[in-house]
A = this chain, B = another copy of it.
Amino acid sequence: VNFIELIGRKRDGGRFEDDEIEWMIGEYSADRIPDYQMSSMLMAVFLNGLDGRELATWTDAMLHSGDVLDFSHIPEPKIDKHSTGGVGDKVSIPLAPMVAACGIAIPMMSGRGLGHTGGTLDKLETIPGFTTEFDARQFSHLLEKHGLVMAGQSESLVPADRRMYGLRDVTGTVPSIPLISSSIMSKKLAEGLDGLVLDVKVGSGAFKRELRDARELAETMVGVGKAHGVTTVALITDMSQPLGHEVGNANEIRESIEVLKGGGPPDLVEVVLRIGAEMLTLGGLADDETSATAMLREAVTSGAALEKFAEVIAAQHGDPSVLDDRTLLPDAPDSFEVTAERSGVVKRADAFDLGVAAVRLGAGRAIKTDTIDPGVGLTVHSKVGDTVEAGDVLTTLHHRDGRGLDDAERLARRAYVIGGGPASREPLVHEEVR
Instruction: With both chains docked as a complex, state the minimum distance between the C-beta of A1 and any C-beta of chain B, in angstroms.
Output: 14
Chain B residues with CB under 8 Å of A5's CB are 172
| Residue of chain B at shortest CB distance from A173 | B40
* 15 contacts across the A-B interface (CB closer than 8 A): A4-B170, A4-B171, A4-B172, A7-B43, A11-B46, A11-B172, A35-B35, A36-B38, A36-B167, A37-B171, A40-B172, A40-B173, A43-B43, A47-B47, A47-B48
| Contact across chains for B171 and A47 when beta carbons are under 8 A apart | no
A86-119 with Cβ < 8 A to chain B: none
Instruction: With both chains docked as a complex, state the minimum distance between the C-beta of A93 and any C-beta of chain B, in angstroms.
Output: 33
Question: With the chains together, A173 CA to B35 CA distance in Å?
Answer: 15
Interface residues on A, range: 20 to 34
A44 at the interface (CB under 8 A from B): yes
| Contact across chains for A40 and B37 when beta carbons are under 8 A apart | no
A8 at the interface (CB under 8 A from B): yes
| Residue of chain B at shortest CB distance from A36 | B35
Question: With the chains together, A178 CA to B369 CA distance in Å?
Answer: 38
A42 at the interface (CB under 8 A from B): yes
A339 at the interface (CB under 8 A from B): no
Chain B residues with CB under 8 Å of A170's CB are 4, 36-37
Copies of this protein in the complex: 2
Instruction: With both chains docked as a complex, state the minimum distance between the C-beta of A382 and any C-beta of chain B, in angstroms.
Output: 34
Instruction: With both chains docked as a complex, state the minimum distance between the C-beta of A271 and any C-beta of chain B, in angstroms.
Output: 31
Instruction: With both chains docked as a complex, state the minimum distance between the C-beta of A348 and any C-beta of chain B, in angstroms.
Output: 26
Residues of A within 8 A of B (CB): 4-5, 7-8, 11, 34-44, 46-48, 167, 170-173
| Contact across chains for A47 and B11 when beta carbons are under 8 A apart | yes
Residue of B35, B40, B47 near A42 (CB, 8 A) is B40
Instruction: With both chains docked as a complex, state the minimum distance between the C-beta of A66 and any C-beta of chain B, in angstroms.
Output: 22
| Residue of chain B at shortest CB distance from A43 | B43
Residue of B37, B41, B44, B173 near A47 (CB, 8 A) is B44
Q: A36-B36, A36-B171, A171-B37 are in contact. Are A43 and B11 (CB under 8 A)?
A: yes
Instruction: With both chains docked as a complex, state the minimum distance between the C-beta of A45 and any C-beta of chain B, in angstroms.
Output: 10
Instruction: With both chains docked as a complex, state the minimum distance between the C-beta of A213 and any C-beta of chain B, in angstroms.
Output: 14
| Residue of chain B at shortest CB distance from A169 | B4
Chain B residues with CB under 8 Å of A7's CB are 43, 171-172
Chain B residues with CB under 8 Å of A37's CB are 39, 170-171
Chain B residues with CB under 8 Å of A8's CB are 172
- Give 18 A-B pairs besides A7-B172, A11-B43 with Cβ atoms closer than 8 angstroms: A4-B170, A4-B171, A4-B172, A5-B172, A7-B171, A11-B173, A35-B36, A36-B170, A37-B39, A39-B39, A39-B43, A39-B171, A40-B42, A40-B43, A40-B171, A40-B172, A43-B43, A47-B48
Chain B residues with CB under 8 Å of A43's CB are 7, 11, 39-40, 43-44, 47
Q: What are the 4 tightest A-B residue pairs by CB atom distance, in nearest-first order?
A: A7-B172, A40-B171, A43-B43, A35-B36
| Residue of chain B at shortest CB distance from A45 | B43
Chain B residues with CB under 8 Å of A40's CB are 39-40, 42-43, 171-173
Instruction: With both chains docked as a complex, state the minimum distance between the C-beta of A344 and any C-beta of chain B, in angstroms.
Output: 37
Question: With the chains together, A43 CA to B8 CA distance in Å?
Answer: 10
Question: With the chains together, A39 CA to B40 CA distance in Å?
Answer: 5
Question: With the chains together, A368 CA to B67 CA distance in Å?
Answer: 41
